[in-house]
Chain A
Amino acid sequence: MSGTHGVHREAAEAVEAPPLDRQVDRRSFLERMGLLTAAAAGMATLPAPGAAVRTAPRLSAAGLPDPRAVQETEPWAMSVGELASLIRAGDLSPRELVDEYLRRIEAMDAGLLAFNTVTADRARRDASRAEGLSWSGPLHGIPLAIKDNYYTAGVPTTANSHIFADFVPDFDATTWARLKDAGAVLLGKTQMGPLATSRATTPDGANTTVNAWSARDASVSPGGSSSGSATAVAAGLAASSTGTQTGGSITNPSESQGLTGLKPTMGRASLYGIIPLTYTRDHPGPLARDAHDAALMLQAMAGPDPADPRTLGNPPVPDLVRAATPVRSGSATRLRWPTTVGVIPGYLEAATEPPRFDPDQAQDDPAAQERLRVFRERSRAEVEARRAMLERFEGMGARVVDVELPADWETLTSFDFNNVRLPERTEPFLHHLRDDVRKFGVSLSPWINGLLLSGPEYLRGQRAKMLLLQRVLDDVFGHCDVVVQTSPVPFDIIGLPLITFPVGLERSRGFDLPVGALFGGMPWGEERLLALAAAWQAETDWHRRRPALPADTPEGPDDFGSDAEADRGRTDVLDVFQYGE
């Protein structure tokens, strides 16, 4: 039991207003996604310079713990909710907090390589300024790590690519501007897969960021492409972070590093001022310590932005922070809303081979055989954790039901139908391709392939996405409110929300590596996903586990085993195409 967050003690019979996902007609979302598909072809290439238009929301303080109840002793290990509680009470100063994170970055980031840029002077200045102001809400003075594809005025924004090597935007991405307006402090920009593709590498493919849970072994993936954001939070180098997701880039690194990652519904948060990868599939969102923190972050980031038509005409953003505040009924946690959890076929069966595994190729390759062994062990650990999780949710009052996958699921979510996204990444970068393909470094392959799909094939693929969405809304969400997933790709294709949160640890290759669960929700279903994760986290402590980092051991940071110049292996140009973002 963690239980340090404030908990709503409500009478069991209290009537809770239904969440947004059941107030919105599934058909109207379908129509809206059709509009986005069609509009993708006509959108501007890169966001034009200009001030982002935004209105800073006043964040709810729901769920902030009593400062006397905060259990963590080290501020770097605390959640945003706990930090906010201490800052509001005057028990922690934003400047002290920034200094602590900067000390840890100084001690550890040469080994972890989570950051591209550390804005130390600016962070100290902004934190000192925050100290002089009255408390403005839960993000007041909270230091954040921002993925390096978010425009940050006056701060380099490289996307780990040669193309943006010297790019310094003159305005902020709308989502970062909103976080800043809510009081957040920029600690730095985080490493990522080049142009938001693979795990974090240099533009030419040398692996950089390591997984905080296996800091001495760069062969364990940190998850991509928001690798640095995940490592920064997992290692206690920042309180929370932002990422972008086109094919798992928030949920995969969150899952790899024991975090709560939330990919919102397409259109919930503005993409204006974020370097595009795929217009109809990019989603900004938080990588956070827990569900409550994810809610605080998304509450600030979300909402309509005239500069991004995808965000307009949607239902208003509900109180996500309240949704992520666990509800007690007597001594037990209960789900905030009656919820039916759909379980897809095979969810509780261990997989024997990773996707696109070639047994013939692996037969005489000891390294491939070892990878297969590790994959199978992990798959078994995942199944065990999933079973325990579903039982626990049933104990909290969830109805757990088997659901069938819609017709043609395998085809419509396959590698080939996933490739329909490629022309959308090629188009805004055509002038760079025509100028010199070497600018794309290790990420070139999918940009070339995007030129090879014909117009009719692209349109057929876009219509197939709509068909998949229609079938998921009717055939899956006709029977449940949330559905477990084993891959983020299907819900990334159709723009529906996903959340991941830690449900266990697995001993592998000498490390304790986090195991996460992945849930998909209905359009605007962030509330229900957050409520589910918050209830789980009120009953378990997986989200409070921290990696054993060299700087936190008696041996100190010198025991890292690798430094910034050490060889961490390479990501190959064909892996970027094969495994994507």
Chain B
Amino acid sequence: MDPKRLQELSDDELDAYIRTRLRIAGVDLGVLPEDDADAPADQTRILAGARRFLRSTPPAILGFEMDEQEVAPVMYPAALAPRMDVEGGR
């Protein structure tokens, strides 16, 4: 699916996705008031922020194409630096 079409998803569809994703992670928004502008956070505003995020950020990132040979992440030796002969290491 073209990432741009994510913006065509309805609020209800996105809310269902967000709530499902949070349930998979074991996170419960239900403890928040449903709609209370005086509360530090409520479900209405948290879902609105999450929908705005989903409509904007994943499509922007997925729409930026990179060659698979470009700037590959490298695992070593940073994780080993404390055990190596570098300044501050062993």
Contacts and interface: CB of A to CB of B under 8 A. Distances in A.
A479 to B, nearest CB: 22
Contacts of A442: 40-41
B41 to A, nearest CB: 5
B58 A35 contact: no
B50 interface: yes
A347 interface: no
A32 to B, nearest CB: 7
B23 to A, nearest CB: 11
Contacts of B10: none
Given A304-B88, A438-B31, A466-B71, A416 B61 contact: yes
B49 A573 contact: yes
A451 B25 contact: yes
Contact of A434 (B27, B54, B87, B88): B27
B50 A313 contact: no
B79 A463 contact: no
A31 interface: yes
A460 B61 contact: yes
Given A306-B89, A312-B88, A416-B57, A573 B81 contact: no
Contacts of A38: 73-75, 78
Interface in B20-43: 21-22, 25-29, 31-32, 40-41
Contacts of A311: 88
Contacts of B53: 419, 449, 452, 577
A436 B26 CA distance: 10
Contacts of A433: 25, 27
Nearest to A433: B27
Contacts of A448: 18, 22, 27, 29, 46, 49-50
Nearest to A317: B87
Contact of B74 (A31, A445, A453): A31
A572 B64 CA distance: 31
B62 interface: yes
Contacts of A92: none
Contacts of A438: 31-32, 40-41
B40 A441 contact: yes
Contact of A444 (B41, B57, B71, B82): B41
Given A312-B81, A411-B60, A438-B31, A449 B25 contact: no
B46 A573 contact: yes
Contact of B45 (A37, A305, A574): A574
B82 A445 contact: no
A387 B75 CA distance: 45
Contacts of B41: 437-438, 440-442, 444-445, 573
A414 B60 contact: yes
Nearest to B49: A445
Contacts of A419: 53, 57
A420 B74 CA distance: 18
A75 interface: no
B56 interface: yes
A437 B30 CA distance: 9
Interface string A396-432: 0000000000001001101111011000000000100
A312 B40 contact: no
B16 interface: no
B70 A437 contact: no
B46 A34 contact: no
Given A38-B73, A457-B58, A314 B46 contact: no
B66 interface: yes
Contacts of A205: 40
A434 B26 contact: yes
A303 B88 contact: yes
A278 to B, nearest CB: 15
A309 B73 contact: no
A263 B71 CA distance: 25
Nearest to B18: A452
A427 to B, nearest CB: 11
A46 B57 CA distance: 27
A312 B57 contact: no
B31 A436 contact: yes
A574 B62 contact: no
- Top 5 nearest A-B pairs (CB, nearest first) are A304-B88, A35-B78, A313-B86, A416-B60, A466-B71
Interface of B: 18, 21-22, 25-29, 31-32, 40-41, 45-46, 48-50, 53-54, 56-58, 60-62, 64, 66, 70-79, 81-82, 84, 86-89
Interface of A: 31-32, 34-39, 42, 203-205, 303-306, 309-314, 316, 408, 411-412, 414-417, 419-420, 430, 433-434, 436-438, 440-442, 444-445, 448-449, 451-454, 457, 459-464, 466-467, 470, 572-574, 577
21 contacts: A35-B79, A306-B82, A312-B87, A313-B88, A416-B57, A416-B60, A433-B27, A434-B25, A434-B26, A437-B28, A438-B32, A441-B41, A442-B40, A448-B49, A451-B27, A453-B57, A460-B66, A461-B61, A463-B70, A573-B40, A573-B45
